[in-house]
């Protein structure tokens, strides 16, 4: 695996990709410019040091969440330029925010453990894995996943924090993947299971039922800033939204103590629908989490994401079994050594976990 640089391509280039030879030629050129770019130091454990995070304006998580999601789009931006932006938002959400669910005078409070980023802007970040629903063109709204005009149901439910903009024709969604109940410390994994847990207080099964039972629910009025010790005030607040995203002021402790953040490829994406730019975005590290040892779903992708970043002891961090680690590492290494054209055989087909590991290896060799 080449270590001298990662692939940086303009979105216009991604839109015009036609063959692997062109990719290789542009990759060589990209390395030269990449050497001049600043990279945050990595500790022996493979973690970004707190002082490095705090001193880097690109990932200043001390800012208000509303400020962070309203980042400036600059002419000439490349897809790779969005990675530190996503990191800054993830740092804020995972270490500075929570979710309060309310029904009458009952509340449930969750810490956000795992999220994924989806953003589509045709010129700068043309990620077609983004749903592109009109609700994703709003900033800081709740977006329940839809199929056309209807809300998805059963095991296809999902909930995003939107961060798009109509004025700039940008769709953005931050998918909630894992929550932790702050009272029981139980983890609720999976985008569907998570929504079901949020609906528990309302005794609703589907989105339409939840909306019918919560007439006061607002998908646009979602963010509140409070001290984490004041969460109980939601019980008496009759005007509180049924689902509120809270960002905390002041020093946090206990269950809200800041935790290390890790990134890895997103879950459930395939190349079933052929689009050249999808290859680039397929295995980007747009999945962010704390507690990788407690996350069970698609653990191998977290493991390989950490392995590909050179993070020490990814097996220990994720608590993946030795057998599983060896199996996925072998498939990943096969991808690193594979001809880039082998990605074609994964188009239009369902993927096994071994296939995904191989694709991560191929993607890391080409694009990282």
Fill in the DSSP letter of residue 284: -
- The rounded distance, in Å, linking the Cα atoms of 290 and 258 is 9
51-60, 223-232, 299-308: segment of lowest average pLDDT: 51-60
Alpha helices by DSSP H, listed for the chain, are 11-15, 20-34, 50-55, 65-69, 83-96, 191-198, 207-213, 276-282, 299-308, 314-318, 322-337, 353-367
- The rounded distance, in Å, linking the Cα atoms of 186 and 140 is 26
63-77, 141-155, 287-301, 330-344: segment of lowest average pLDDT: 330-344
Token pair of 189, please? 């994994």
Handedness of CA 290, 291, 292, 298 (dihedral sign): negative
Reduced to 3 states (helix: H, G, I; strand: E, B; else coil), residue 254 is helix
Render pLDDT for 321-342 as a digit per residue (tens, 0 to 9).
Answer: 999 999 999 999 999 998 777 8
- The rounded distance, in Å, linking the Cα atoms of 128 and 149 is 19
Q: In this predicted structure, what is the pLDDT of residue 8?
A: 56
Q: In this predicted structure, what is the pLDDT of residue 19?
A: 41
Render pLDDT for 159-209 as a digit per residue (tens, 0 to 9).
Answer: 999 999 999 999 999 999 999 999 999 999 999 999 999 999 999 999 999
Token pair of 187, please? 């983890």
- The rounded distance, in Å, linking the Cα atoms of 52 and 170 is 30
Q: Is the pLDDT of residue 33 over 60?
A: no
Query: Model pTM?
Result: 0.85
- The rounded distance, in Å, linking the Cα atoms of 202 and 216 is 13
């Amino acid at each position: 695996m080449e270590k001298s640089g990662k692939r940086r391509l303009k979105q216009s280039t991604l839109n015009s990709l036609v063959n692997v030879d062109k990719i290789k030629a542009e990759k060589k050129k990209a390395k030269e410019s990449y050497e001049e770019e600043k990279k945050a130091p990595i500790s022996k454990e493979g973690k970004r040091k707190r002082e490095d995070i705090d001193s880097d304006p690109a990932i200043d998580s001390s800012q208000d969440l509303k400020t962070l999601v309203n980042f400036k789009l600059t002419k000439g931006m490349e897809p790779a330029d969005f990675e530190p932006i996503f990191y800054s938002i993830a740092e804020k959400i995972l270490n500075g925010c929570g979710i309060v669910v309310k029904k009458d005078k009952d509340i449930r409070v969750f810490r956000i453990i795992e999220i994924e980023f989806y953003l589509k802007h045709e010129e700068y970040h043309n990620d077609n894995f983004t749903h592109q629903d009109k609700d994703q063109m709003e900033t800081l709204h709740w977006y329940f996943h839809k199929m056309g005009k209807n809300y998805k149901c059963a095991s296809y439910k999902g909930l995003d924090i939107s961060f798009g903009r109509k004025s700039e024709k940008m769709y953005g969604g931050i998918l909630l993947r894992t929550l932790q109940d702050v009272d029981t410390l139980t983890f609720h994994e999976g985008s569907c299971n998570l929504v079901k847990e949020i609906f528990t207080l309302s005794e609703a099964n589907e989105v339409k039922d939840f909306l019918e039972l919560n007439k006061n629910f607002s998908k646009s009025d979602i963010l509140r800033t409070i001290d984490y010790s004041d969460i109980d005030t939601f019980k008496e607040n009759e005007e509180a939204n049924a689902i509120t995203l809270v960002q905390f002021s002041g020093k946090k402790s206990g269950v809200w103590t800041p935790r290390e953040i890790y990134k890895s490829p997103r879950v459930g994406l395939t190349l079933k629908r052929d689009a050249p730019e999808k290859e680039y975005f397929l295995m980007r590290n747009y999945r962010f989490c704390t507690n990788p040892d407690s996350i069970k779903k698609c653990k191998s992708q977290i493991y390989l994401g950490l392995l590909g970043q050179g993070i020490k002891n990814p097996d220990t961090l994720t608590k993946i079994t030795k057998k599983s680690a060896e199996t996925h590492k072998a498939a990943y290494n096969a991808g690193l050594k594979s001809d880039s054209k082998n990605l074609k055989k994964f188009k239009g087909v369902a993927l096994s976990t071994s296939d995904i590991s191989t694709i991560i290896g191929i993607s890391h060799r080409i694009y990282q």
